Structure 1
Amino acid sequence: MHLDKLFNHEDYQSKGIGTSSMQFIEQQFPNVSIRTLYTPHLSFRNHDFYDKLGYEKVKEVQLTSKLKLFKFQKQV
């Protein structure tokens, strides 16, 4: 399963909504063994968030000279 886009407005961050959303999404697909997503390399809070949820950085993709994405993956 690949999570393409999920945004939590800054007014609602650090309230558990992102964690609840990710847990809900993962519960909807209990038979999926590999879950992936991309996040910008400078989005440090995202990196910590996905680490907390059990995702690991597995790849870096340079899209432009200024934009690099990190691929995170979680194996269940």
Structure 2
Amino acid sequence: MASTSATTPSSSSSSSSCSNSKKGGRSEVEHKLGEFFMYQIAHDASPAYGGGFGAGNAAVNKYGLRRTLDHIRLTGNFPL
């Protein structure tokens, strides 16, 4: 019985944290993890991540997301 009662609290606490993120709110850990990944990709020296992200980010900042995506769909390249 001791193992059953020890399992129950952890199960209920993990399900409650999952339900919070499903409702649209992110935990502090999820927010910090997202910031970390964004930083890593933005500062990556590889052409696929560093260069590609930089070009895409610059295009979105200059032209907006919709116009950038339309241009990519038509030409296969980021707008200059």
Give the TM bin, normalised by the shorter chain: under 0.3
Instruction: From the two aligned structures, give the one with the greater helix fraction.
Output: 2
More relative contact order in 1 or in 2 (CA 8 Å, sep 6+)? 1
Instruction: From the two aligned structures, give the one with the greater strand fraction.
Output: 1
Give me the TM-score of the superposition, normalised by structure 1: 0.28
Report which of the two structures shows the higher radius of gyration computed on alpha carbons: 2
